[in-house]
Amino acid sequence: MADTAPSPGGGTGVNFDINTWVTQGIPNGGVLSSLFQVKLKTPTGSTNASAETISPFQVSGASLPGDAIEAVEATYMGRTISLPGNRAVSTWAVTIMCDTDWEIRSAMEEWMEKISGKKSNVRSGGAGSSFFSNLTADMEIYVLDRTGANIDSSKKKGVYTIYDAWPSELGAIEMAWGTNEIATFETTFSFSYWQAGLAGS
């Protein structure tokens, strides 16, 4: 049987040959969900700036951001249709491993304290034009191939930048005597928007 492309509308059949599927369906072996790195940045003035350096090694779980546009309903003489509205608010969550230096955990705690003090109930260092630089940061997610390189050498595909992110929820760390695993915690970020590619690319 000759190689033929799938024909959703009928005509020639679908090629069931495994070699064709491997070379055309999943070239280079596909993308493994375990091959990624996340760079968590911290706001200007953070005392835990090293969190950015170690985050690619300690962020063990993350998602590539999704997209959602809210529908607006309009009715005319009893007939309702959906029209595209504004973009929906999204959040982004990561899972982080704990180490004995406690760098990333401390950075998140300090960051949230600057946004809203637990005792003082005030915001520090984020007034006026300095709000975004002092209280938000841009995050980067890299999808890697099996050589450890980004799947696109130009870093325009397989790289996502999340802009103006800030931690809106810091998860609890579960501890128990009967476990034998590295402690982890989740952090949920709110953000303004995301784009494919690095900032400025």
Q: Which domain holds residue 161?
A: 26-196
Q: Are 124 and 156 in contact (CB under 8 A)?
A: no
pLDDT of residue 4: 52
Radius of gyration of the chain (CA): 22
Of the candidates 67, 55, 27, 56, the residue with the CA atom closest to the CA atom of residue 143: 56
**Which residues of 137-176 form beta strands (DSSP E)?**
137-143, 159-170
Give how many domains the chain has, as a whole number.
1
Buried (b) or exposed (e) across 123-147, using 16+ Cβ within 10 A? eeebeeeeebebbbbbbbbbbbbee
Domain-embedded: residue 11: no
User: Is there a domain that residue 21 lies in?
Assistant: no
129 pLDDT above the threshold of 80:
no
List % helix, strand, coil for the chain (3-state, nearest 5): 20, 30, 50
pLDDT value for 127:
63
The rounded distance, in Å, linking the Cα atoms of 138 and 56 is: 14
pLDDT score of 1: 43
In a domain, 50, yes or no: yes
Task: Label residue 6 by pLDDT band (50, 70, 90).
Answer: low
* Interval 96-111 mean pLDDT: 94
Is position 4 within any domain?
no
Are 197 and 161 within 8 A, CB to CB? yes
Please name the residue that has the structure tokens 């050498």: 153
pTM above 0.85, yes or no: no
Any domain includes 54 = yes
Q: What is the pLDDT of residues 78-98, one digit of tens each?
A: 999 999 999 998 999 999 999
Q: Quick check: is 20 in a domain?
A: no
**CATH code for the domain in which residue 82 is found:** 2.30.110
35-49, 56-70, 149-163, range with greatest mean pLDDT = 56-70
**Percent of the chain surpassing pLDDT 90:** 56
Residue 61 domain flag:
yes
Arithmetic mean of pLDDT, 122-137: 77
5 found inside a domain: no
